[in-house]
């Protein structure tokens, strides 16, 4: 009788463990190509992240936590949680699962799928209760992991832990991290003892939660080299998870063009089984030859390879954030004994590696790799959800397949790096709780004023509240600032838009920012992860953001159905001669010193902003460009201090409206006043609700033929 390689390995395991039951199982030669299917994990590939060691979400600074929550809402839906055995059993029989519960509950509240690893063995040492340890990473004299009392203690721990796991989103229980680093060089009896403990835990899990599989995590080198630890563990555990980093033996990173081939070799060696990657690591340490840019390229290559690897079910990016100074030093101290005999330059590289693994820095600022990860999640999610229809609709010969709607509420999105500056742009979006209408959600692009921010303008204008009640998507765009590494500030680091007016006093104009490309990228990103109505895309803005809105209408008319500009400037040139200009609403106040109704010199504080023509000249340019009637149709405004003129029908059934607010200064009408005192920018006098007025205008503006 011929015996397969898998059967031989099973025989070896059985002999090592001295178990008649395992010997009988080995002789049956159960094929290794039939692994468990991770029944508690959502279908498809789940991408997640982790924190170094056993750090909890509670330890994150506010900015990092905010970014993590936005990422979770956008599809970064997994997490790897590490706990050592002593964290749960400090002394014999004294079990305390609070450390587990306190970390799992915040993850469960965010709906994350969690891989929990109780690291009995961690890299080159054991993590066991003090009475079982020799104090330096080994086992106490006379202690073996397959001792009956040791096994009984661990199974008693599982009795307490396992019921908590599946209730809180856990889909896989790990029993060791990179333990091949020790076991591949250890006596066979030590490997056998570890394997017996894993086998006993796996058997016990069948009585507790048969749908919660057991795994052991090994290095990718163990997989590539098919070591004895790899072969044994894949027989006694439901899964062997792996950690992967494109790092050579000298602790230097691989060139980006070599990463794909190296990773493919690991995937090929793994075979046809279900693959779980506990740690996908792309460091950014300069001493290793890496950098934030290298990290982003590394992630882009690896994630693209995984997109086509259908056996991969879970990947955790290692890790979420860099370590801050004190934590970095503490972690380096833990590993210092391992570096005693290492060359000095190797030790330097390893120390820096430990502290620069995050896709966010220690202050929560995103590195380029953060945007790569979120962009990949959005594209992967879109490719999956396109297969899940909510419905179809016909518009002539145009049939749209609707995407499953994303989670509701406010979310932050990051775009890929810009090719010219390397800067990473972002935007905020409010997704309504209701399902999208047939054809997808309408979209309103919203541009803050000069010196403003998307979140502050959201608070000022309340566009998110109207989006929720009227079931459309509100996109709060973010301008650029002189120092992108520092937070925005109205005077010290103002965010502005390149509105095409050529005003050198506007920073984004002076820097030549390509904000048109940014808006294109935002729209493409939106279309990739939610169902949107391409014939109902609108834009509005205030002040410099109004100028940006008009700039879009001139240069991207084919994407917009209507625009609304409040208290903003326009380029002093005729409109382009095109057939697709959108409808326009223009609104301003009579007492706005930054947008004077009669034109003239404009100052902000003591800064000269330019000389501008009368507002009527600006509007007349649009009325003429849209081929509107000369005489308006009066709009019956509900407020006595409001003059409103409507011109309809214009070319291609478009509309032009002009709203003049008597006594009103440089404020978003009806909004929360967050700007400077009135002696600089005029009174906040109008009671008109500009947000709802503009939305009512948009509702009437839907054009056929918009792309």
* DSSP-assigned states of every residue in 620-646: HHHHHHTT--SSPEEP--SSTTEEEEE
Q: Are residues 119 and 188 in the same domain?
A: yes
Q: What is the pLDDT of residues 293-342, one digit of tens each?
A: 899 899 989 998 887 787 899 999 999 999 988 888 988 888 888 788 88
Enclosing H/E stretch for 585: strand 583-589
CATH number for position 203: 3.20.20.80
Query: Is residue 205 very low, low, confident or very high in pLDDT (cuts 50, 70, 90)?
Result: very high
Res. 705: pLDDT tops 50? no
Pairwise pLDDT comparison (529 vs 170), residue with the higher score: 170
Query: Which of 191, 223, 244 represents a domain boundary (last residue)?
Result: 244
The pLDDT value given to residue 375: 80
Q: Are residues 206 and 314 in the same domain?
A: no
The pLDDT value given to residue 53: 58
Query: Which of 384, 419, 446 represents a domain boundary (last residue)?
Result: 384
Domain that holds residue 347: 41-75+257-384
Percent of the chain at pLDDT > 90 equals 51
Measured distance CA(417)–CA(423) in Å, rounded:
6
The pLDDT value given to residue 703: 62
> Within 10 Å of residue 392's Cβ, how many Cβ atoms?
11
Q: Are residues 123 and 192 in the same domain?
A: yes
Res. 505: pLDDT tops 80? no
26-35, 408-417, 560-569: which has the minimum mean pLDDT? 26-35
Measured distance CA(150)–CA(144) in Å, rounded:
8
Measured distance CA(469)–CA(460) in Å, rounded:
17
488-497, 557-566, 569-578, 625-634: which has the minimum mean pLDDT? 569-578
In a domain, 465, yes or no: yes
Res. 17: pLDDT tops 70? no
In a domain, 22, yes or no: no
In a domain, 173, yes or no: yes
Chain position carrying tokens 């790990």: 174
- Mean pLDDT throughout 105-121? 93
Nearest CA-CA partner of 535 in 562, 561, 564:
561
| Contact of 79 with 29, CB cutoff 8 Å | no
In a domain, 404, yes or no: no
In sequence order, what are the residues at sequence separation of 6 or more whose Cβ sits closer than 8 angstroms to the Cβ of residue 586?
564, 565, 615, 618, 619, 622, 656, 657, 658, 659
Give per-residue burial for 352-363: e unless 16+ CB within 10 Å, then b: bbbbbbbbbbbe
Q: Are residues 64 and 99 in the same domain?
A: no
The pLDDT value given to residue 388: 42
In a domain, 105, yes or no: yes
Query: Is residue 578 very low, low, confident or very high in pLDDT (cuts 50, 70, 90)?
Result: low
Q: What is the pLDDT of residues 364-394, one digit of tens each?
A: 888 988 888 888 887 776 555 544 433 333 3
Pairwise pLDDT comparison (636 vs 265), residue with the higher score: 265
The pLDDT value given to residue 339: 83
Query: Is residue 404 very low, low, confident or very high in pLDDT (cuts 50, 70, 90)?
Result: very low
Q: What is the pLDDT of residues 546-565, one digit of tens each?
A: 999 999 999 999 999 999 99
Q: Are residues 206 and 350 in the same domain?
A: no
Measured distance CA(479)–CA(499) in Å, rounded:
11
Query: Is residue 125 very low, low, confident or very high in pLDDT (cuts 50, 70, 90)?
Result: very high
In a domain, 123, yes or no: yes
Measured distance CA(570)–CA(445) in Å, rounded:
18
Q: Are residues 421 and 374 in the same domain?
A: no
Query: Which of 244, 267, 301 represents a domain boundary (last residue)?
Result: 244
Q: Are residues 617 and 694 in the same domain?
A: yes
Q: Are residues 466 and 614 in the same domain?
A: yes
Q: What is the pLDDT of residues 686-697, one digit of tens each?
A: 889 999 999 999
DSSP 383-405: HHHTTS-S-EEEETTEEEEPPPP
Q: Are residues 166 and 203 in the same domain?
A: yes
In sequence order, what are the residues at sequence separation of 6 or more whose Cβ sits closer than 8 angstroms to the Cβ of residue 581?
553, 557, 575, 625, 626, 651, 654
Q: Are residues 545 and 625 in the same domain?
A: yes
Both tokens of 410, joined, read 């406010």
Q: Are residues 214 and 288 in the same domain?
A: no
Pairwise pLDDT comparison (124 vs 447), residue with the higher score: 447
Res. 525: pLDDT tops 60? yes
| Contact of 240 with 233, CB cutoff 8 Å | yes
In sequence order, what are the residues at sequence separation of 6 or more whose Cβ sits closer than 8 angstroms to the Cβ of residue 685?
589, 591, 641, 661, 662, 663, 664, 665
134-148, 528-542, 665-679: which has the minimum mean pLDDT? 665-679
| Contact of 686 with 588, CB cutoff 8 Å | no
Q: Are residues 155 and 237 in the same domain?
A: yes
**Phi/psi of residue 604, nearest 5 degrees:** -120, 120
Measured distance CA(122)–CA(83) in Å, rounded:
10
Both tokens of 439, joined, read 């054809």
Measured distance CA(152)–CA(138) in Å, rounded:
20
Alpha carbon distances (Å) from 640 to 211, 575, 660, 686: 68, 33, 11, 10
> Within 10 Å of residue 15's Cβ, how many Cβ atoms?
14
Q: What is the pLDDT of residues 218-238, one digit of tens each?
A: 999 999 999 999 999 999 999
- How many domains is the chain built from? 3
Res. 6: pLDDT tops 50? no
Res. 443: pLDDT tops 80? yes
In a domain, 7, yes or no: no
The pLDDT value given to residue 250: 92
The pLDDT value given to residue 472: 95
In a domain, 137, yes or no: yes
């Amino acid at each position: 009788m011929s015996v397969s390689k898998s059967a031989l390995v099973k025989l070896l395991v059985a002999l090592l463990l001295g178990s008649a039951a395992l010997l009988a199982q080995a002789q049956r030669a159960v094929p290794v190509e039939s692994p468990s299917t991770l029944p508690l994990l959502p279908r498809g590939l789940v991408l997640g992240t982790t924190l170094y060691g056993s750090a909890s979400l509670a330890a994150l600074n506010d900015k990092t936590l905010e970014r993590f929550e936005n990422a979770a809402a956008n599809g970064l839906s997994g997490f790897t949680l590490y706990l050592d055995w002593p964290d749960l059993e400090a002394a014999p029989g004294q079990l305390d699962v609070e450390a587990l519960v306190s970390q799992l509950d915040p993850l469960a509240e965010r709906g994350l799928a969690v891989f929990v690893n109780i690291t009995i063995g961690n890299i080159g040492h054991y993590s066991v209760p003090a009475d079982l340890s020799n104090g330096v990473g080994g086992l106490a004299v006379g202690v073996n992991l397959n001792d009956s009392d040791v096994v009984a203690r661990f199974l008693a721990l599982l009795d307490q832990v396992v019921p908590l796991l599946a209730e809180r989103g856990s889909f896989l229980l790990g029993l060791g991290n990179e333990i091949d680093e020790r076991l591949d060089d250890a006596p066979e009896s030590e490997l056998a003892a570890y394997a017996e403990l894993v086998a006993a835990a796996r058997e016990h899990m069948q009585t507790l939660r048969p749908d919660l599989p057991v795994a052991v995590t090994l290095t990718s080198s163990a997989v590539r080299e098919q070591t004895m630890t790899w072969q044994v563990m894949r027989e006694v555990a439901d899964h062997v998870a792996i950690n992967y980093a494109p790092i050579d033996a000298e602790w230097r990173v691989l060139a980006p063009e070599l990463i794909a081939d190296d990773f493919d070799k690991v995937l090929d060696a793994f075979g046809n089984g279900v693959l779980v990657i506990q740690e996908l690591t792309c460091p950014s340490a300069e001493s290793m030859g890496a950098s934030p840019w290298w990290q982003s390229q590394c992630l882009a290559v690896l994630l693209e390879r995984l997109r086509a690897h259908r056996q991969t079910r879970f990947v955790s990016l290692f890790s979420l954030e860099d370590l801050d100074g004190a934590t970095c030093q503490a972690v380096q101290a833990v590993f210092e004994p391992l570096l005693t005999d290492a060359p000095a330059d190797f030790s330097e590289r390893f120390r820096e590696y430990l502290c620069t693994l995050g896709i966010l820095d220690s202050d929560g600022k995103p590195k380029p790799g953060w945007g790569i990860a979120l962009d990949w999640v959005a594209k992967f999610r879109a490719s999956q959800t396109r297969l899940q229809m909510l419905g179809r609709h016909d518009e002539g010969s145009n049939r749209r397949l609707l995407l499953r709607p994303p989670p509701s509420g406010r979310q932050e999105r990051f775009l890929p790096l810009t090719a010219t500056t390397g800067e990473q742009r972002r935007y905020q979006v409010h997704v309504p709780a209701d399902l999208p209408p047939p054809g997808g959600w309408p979209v309103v692009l919203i541009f803050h004023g000069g010196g403003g921010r998307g979140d502050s303008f959201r608070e000022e204008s309340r566009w998110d509240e109207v989006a929720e009640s009227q079931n459309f998507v509100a996109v709060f765009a973010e301008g650029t600032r002189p120092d992108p590494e520092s937070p925005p500030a109205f005077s010290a680091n103002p965010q502005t838009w390149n509105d095409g007016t050529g005003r050198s006093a506007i920073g984004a104009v002076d820097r030549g920012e390509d904000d048109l490309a940014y808006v294109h990228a935002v729209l493409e990103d939106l279309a990739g992860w939610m169902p949107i109505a391409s014939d109902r895309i609108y834009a509005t803005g205030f002040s410099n953001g109004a100028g940006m809105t008009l700039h879009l209408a001139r240069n991207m008319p084919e994407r917009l159905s209507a625009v609304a500009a409040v208290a903003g400037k326009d380029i002093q040139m005729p409109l382009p001669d095109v057939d697709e200009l959108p409808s326009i609403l223009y609104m301003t106040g009579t007492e706005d010193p930054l947008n004077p109704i009669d034109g003239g010199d404009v100052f902000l504080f003591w800064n000269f902003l330019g000389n501008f023509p009368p507002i009527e000249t600006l509007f007349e340019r649009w009325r003429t460009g849209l081929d509107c009637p000369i005489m308006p149709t009066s709009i019956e405004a509900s407020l006595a201090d409001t003059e409103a003129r409507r011109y309809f029908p214009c070319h291609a059934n478009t509309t032009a409206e002009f709203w003049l607010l008597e006594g009103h200064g440089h404020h978003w009408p009806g909004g929360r006043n967050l700007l400077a005192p009135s002696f600089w920018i005029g009174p906040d006098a109008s009671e008109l609700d500009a947000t709802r007025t503009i939305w009512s205008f948009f509702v009437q503006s839907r054009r056929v033929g918009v792309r």
